Amino acid sequence: MTRQERNLGVRRYATTPDLIADALRDEIRRGELLPTQALRQEELAERFGVSRLPVRDALLRLEAEGLVVVYPNRGAFVVEFSADEVREIYDLRLLLEVDALQRAVPEMREADLERIERACDTAERGAVGPAWGELDRAFHQALYAPSARPRQLAMIEGLRGTVDRYWWAYQELHAHTADWIRDHRALVAACRRRDTATAGRLLEDHLRRAGDLVVARLRDS
């Protein structure tokens, strides 16, 4: 979906701060809005065809998510993370996501497993395309959903959203596509066996390697 199509979607469906935040969040995650880039309220208001008030509210919501920083008398900017900050985010993701999966596996029913397998298949088919990030996100969401831990899952989504942009900024991911596919397949198999311990170890390794890759690229930049 192009930026123009997303903008039209916001206008068509009764623009609100939530919808404006959704559009900007998506662009930050895709790397279309870059770290330290200014987000000027008047320009965004014109772009979305609204007053500055809902734009301000949207920016404050993104600030609460750690994607934007708002300075008094200076305006809003896309957050830039250091390599150490990204390392910390991945460490937190590892703790929360492994725990969520280990809680989810014993609760998985056949319908859950089928949903996970479909998400895995879809992510694999789109592994070399521009939708990879969203397809990978959907697979992990399907894995964790049976945990029925909405607050924990919201925290996971928030942490992932702060670092997703680095997959788009560095095209290193496609060089490791075969590894991610193997990881996903192994996770599905462990879930099928109801092997909670193995699923947790596989996910820990998967996330640790992903974090190492992103941090290494940041340190080299």
* CATH number, domain containing residue 31: 1.10.10.10
8 Å CB contact between 204 and 94: yes
Do 93 and 196 share a domain, yes or no?
Answer: yes
Q: Do residues 94 and 54 share a domain? A: no
First to last CA, the chain: 29
Give the pLDDT band of residue 172 (cuts 50, 70, 90). Answer: low
For 101-112, the pLDDT digits (tens) are: 999 999 999 999
> Which pLDDT tens digit goes with each residue over 25-73?
888 887 788 889 999 999 999 999 999 999 999 999 999 888 899 998 8
The residue with greater pLDDT, 167 or 39, is 39
Task: Find the farthest-apart pair of alpha carbons in the chain and give their distance in angstroms, rounded.
Answer: 57
Residue 21 pLDDT exceeds 70: yes
> What's 166's domain CATH number?
1.20.120.530
28 with 111, same domain: the answer is: no
In the listed set 26, 59, 78, which residue is the last one of a domain according to the structure?
78
pLDDT digits (tens, 9 = 90+) for 94-143: 999 999 999 999 999 999 999 999 999 999 998 777 677 888 999 999 99
- Same domain assignment for residues 147 and 199: yes
Compare 174 and 205 and report the one with higher pLDDT.
205
| Domain span at 18 | 3-78
- Cα distance between residue 126 and residue 180, in whole Å: 12
| 150 and 210 part of one domain | yes
Query: Which strand (E) or helix (H) includes residue 94?
Result: helix 83-104
Question: Do 131 and 26 touch, CB atoms closer than 8 A?
Answer: no
Contacts by 142-145, CB closer than 8 A, 24 or more apart: 142/112, 142/115, 142/116, 142/118, 143/101, 143/104, 143/116, 143/187, 143/191, 143/203, 144/97, 144/100, 144/101, 144/104, 145/104, 145/112, 145/115
CA–CA distance from 85 to each of 46, 140, 164, 193, 219 (Å)?
Answer: 34, 22, 14, 36, 12
On whether both 123 and 70 belong to a single domain, the answer is no
Residue 130 tokens read as 């521009």
Segment 169-181 shows an average pLDDT of 70
Indicate the number of domains in the chain.
2
